[in-house]
Amino acid sequence: MAVLEHTGNRSLYVDTGEVVSVLGAPGSGKTRLALELAFLVRPEEGAVLFRGKNPMTKGKRLQERPREVTLLVQNAEDQLFARTVFDDVAFGPRHLMLDEDEIEQRVNMALETVGLDPAEVHDRSPFALSGGERRRVALAGVLAMEPDVLILDEPTANLDPRTRNEFLSLLAPLRGRSAIVWLTSSAREAALADRIYLLMDGRTREVASGSELLADWHVLADAGIELPAVYELARSLKGLGGALPAESDAERLKSEIIQSYRGRRAR
């Protein structure tokens, strides 16, 4: 049984310990879907099931949503508020009425998971950290809740390339701890997941692998999805009249681009 499932046109499911990505262009409805999966808004169509049951049946209030499902929103560092990093990360566990020893243990483990030294950042102001470090603190605050399902809405948005790559490296230690739904507009990020859903025209469809995902790269590019550099270059060259294959893997595209360039130089 799936730990979390969305039914209807935007159907998807995620099993315990699994990483599932939802790939969609900006404006495709990813944030709305993330809020629905986190039981923060009611689904426009279908239902969201947690462990096979709908916890938001008629008469239920959003405040009664399952606490085992947590969401890291876009630009989550903007929601940091506490005087110290420790207090910010401890905010959620304290609302679970845990004792101070367990709270400290959870905070330290969460900070270590996101690559921050608890002893170094414990008493620092989160506002004195870099943008990437602040986003790591925001993620640690979610992880300290020890959720069964972690929903990440564009977690690398507005990060510079280096910080973005550093943040992506955090996916490995998160695998197996929680079921993860990673919503992104980047095909490169989506390909890191165990399974991939495409969100287009208000519907989801599952694709089997990263190679299948990029087989129709021109369709994804036209939809506004961020592609690896070689595909973006191929699209630009095709727009200039280059004869490049519509469906191809990255190595073939690279070879075609080089041959096309050499052919033009030889004329």
**Confidence at residue 21, expressed as pLDDT on a 0 to 100 scale:** 95
Average pLDDT, the chain: 88
Q: Which residue has the higher pLDDT, 222 or 84?
A: 84
Q: Which residue has the higher pLDDT, 231 or 31?
A: 31
240 lies in a domain? no
Among the listed ranges 15-19, 24-28, 56-60, 138-142, which one has the minimum average pLDDT value? 56-60
Average pLDDT of the residues in 104-129: 96
- Tokens read off for 154: 């564009």
Q: What is the pLDDT of residues 176-212, one digit of tens each?
A: 788 999 999 999 899 889 999 999 999 999 987 766 7
153 lies in a domain? yes
Tell whether the model's pLDDT for residue 101 goes beyond 90: yes
Average pLDDT of the residues in 166-175: 81
By residue range, what is the domain housing residue 109?
4-209
Tell whether the model's pLDDT for residue 258 goes beyond 80: no
Residue 219 identity (one-letter amino acid): V
Tell whether the model's pLDDT for residue 247 goes beyond 60: no
pTM: 0.87
Q: Which residue has the higher pLDDT, 142 or 249?
A: 142
Tell whether the model's pLDDT for residue 214 goes beyond 90: no
Burial (Cβ within 10 Å: 0-12, 13-18, ≥19) of residue 159? middle
82 lies in a domain? yes
**Confidence at residue 243, expressed as pLDDT on a 0 to 100 scale:** 62
Q: Is the dihedral of CA 112, 118, 123, 124 positive or negative?
A: negative
Q: DSSP letters along the chain, please?
A: --SEEE-STT-EEE-TT-EEEEE--TTSSHHHHHHHHTTSS--SSS-EEETTB-TT-TT--GGGS-TTEEEE-TTGGGG--SSSHHHHHHHHHHHTT--HHHHHHHHHHHHHHTT--HHHHTTS-GGGS-HHHHHHHHHHHHHTT--SEEEEESTTTT--HHHHHHHHTTHHHHTTTSEEEEEESBHHHHTTSSEEEEEETTEEEEES-HHHHTTTHHHHHHHT-B--HHHHHHHHHHHTT----SS--HHHHHHHHHHHHHHHHH-
**Confidence at residue 62, expressed as pLDDT on a 0 to 100 scale:** 65
**Confidence at residue 151, expressed as pLDDT on a 0 to 100 scale:** 96
44 lies in a domain? yes
Average pLDDT of the residues in 77-106: 94
167 lies in a domain? yes
251 lies in a domain? no
Tell whether the model's pLDDT for residue 74 goes beyond 80: yes
Count: domains in the chain: 1
Q: Which CATH number characterizes residue 101's domain?
A: 3.40.50.300
Label residue 263 by pLDDT band (50, 70, 90): low
Tell whether the model's pLDDT for residue 13 goes beyond 80: yes
23 lies in a domain? yes
**Confidence at residue 224, expressed as pLDDT on a 0 to 100 scale:** 86
Q: What percent of the chain has pLDDT over 90?
A: 58
Label residue 65 by pLDDT band (50, 70, 90): confident
193 lies in a domain? yes
